[in-house]
């Protein structure tokens, strides 16, 4: 049974269409789907919950994403995604950090790009839950490198879990460099692993100035676990910022720095 616009109103047909839209677009929202099918937001929320229960979609704030959009890309492959943008973001963020500063650097390929750009700095105290960052920075005698204890995630060398969060809370540093897996258009900062999120939250809480680094590919992804909100950041360094996130930056006095990759 269809409406006059040719859109399915039968529950099964509507849900099949929703899955198809999510596969094409990567993400669907409750409001857009309600308008498209001419039903209430509550009806769409029930559809999305049903589909998520059958593992056909993954629920996120305000909508859902196709499971292919939430699959965390293998770490070495992620290094190659937007590599020029990440390098430019890394240089810009590193330029904001003065010599003789203390800083946190968390897990991620973009935060690793920042660490690469920091190697010509003077004395720094670097506290990290990223084995890759620690292994790079330890080679430079001007840096004091402190690594968190906890569970080592084999896929990317990240140290996660309650022990790592407790370790981080021992410090109060000048800067934090934070990467995320996804950024929602409402400003929510998202990740895949709740154990990593707990450590990232501890990092944010214990830094005087938080620098979020992310290339624009993160705006087209979804992830299920909320870390924080863009409004909690002091600086956002990216290659291209969509207008909804520009508004968040303006409304909350977050310094936005957009870079041009080489």
DSSP reduced 3-state for 158: strand
Q: Which residues pair with 103 in a beta bridge?
A: 126, 175
Mean pLDDT of 90-119: 97
Which is higher by pLDDT, 214 or 79?
214
Give the model's pLDDT for residue 256: 98
Pick from 80, 11, 76: which is nearest to 47 by CA? Answer: 11
Q: Which pair of structure tokens corresponds to residue 126?
A: 């670097």
For CATH 3.40.50.1360, list the domain ranges present in the chain: 75-258
In CATH terms, the fold of domain 75-258 is Rossmann fold (3.40.50)
User: What is the dihedral angle through the alpha carbons of 131, 79, 171, 237, rounded to the nearest 10 degrees?
Assistant: 170
Range list for CATH 1.10.10.10 in the chain = 11-70
Residue 149: CB atoms within 10 A of its CB come to 12
Local confidence band at 204 (pLDDT 50, 70, 90 cut-offs): very high
Q: Which residues pair with 256 in a beta bridge?
A: 236
Q: Which among 237, 240, 222, 180 has a CA at the least distance from the CA of 204?
A: 180
CA distance 48 to 65: 10
Residues whose CB falls within 8 Å of the CB of residue 261, separated by 6 or more in sequence, listed in order: 82, 84, 85, 87, 88, 239
Q: What is the pLDDT of residue 255?
A: 98
Residue 72 has pLDDT above 60, yes or no: no
Q: Which fold has domain 11-70?
A: Arc Repressor Mutant, subunit A (1.10.10)
Average pLDDT over residues 194-208: 94
Least confident segment among 4-13, 28-37, 123-132:
4-13
Which of 58-62, 75-79, 87-91, 101-105 has the weakest average pLDDT?
A: 75-79
């Amino acid at each position: 049974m269809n409406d006059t616009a040719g859109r399915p109103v039968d529950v099964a047909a509507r849900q099949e269409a929703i899955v198809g839209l999510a596969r094409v677009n990567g993400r669907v929202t409750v409001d857009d789907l309600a308008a498209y099918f001419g039903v209430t937001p509550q009806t769409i929320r029930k559809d999305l919950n049903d589909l998520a229960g059958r593992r056909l979609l993954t629920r996120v704030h305000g909508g859902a994403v196709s499971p292919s959009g939430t699959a965390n890309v293998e770490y070495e492959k992620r290094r190659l995604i937007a590599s020029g943008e990440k390098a430019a973001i890394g240089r810009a963020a590193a330029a904001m950090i003065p010599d003789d500063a203390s800083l946190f650097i968390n897990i991620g390929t973009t935060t690793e790009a920042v660490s690469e750009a920091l190697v010509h700095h003077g004395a720094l105290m670097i506290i990290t839950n990223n084995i890759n960052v620690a292994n790079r920075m330890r080679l430079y005698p001007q840096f004091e490198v402190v690594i968190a204890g906890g569970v080592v995630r084999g896929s990317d060398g990240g140290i996660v879990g309650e022990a790592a969060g407790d370790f981080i809370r021992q410090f109060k540093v000048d800067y934090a460099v934070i990467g995320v897996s996804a950024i929602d258009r409402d400003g929510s900062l998202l990740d895949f692993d709740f154990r990593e999120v707990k450590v990232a939250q501890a990092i944010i809480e214990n830094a005087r100035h938080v620098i979020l680094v992310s290339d624009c590919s993160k705006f087209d992804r979804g992830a299920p676990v909320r870390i924080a909100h863009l409004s909690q950041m002091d600086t956002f360094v990216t290659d291209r910022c969509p207008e909804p996130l520009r508004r968040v930056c303006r409304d909350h006095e977050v310094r936005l720095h957009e870079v041009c990759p080489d």
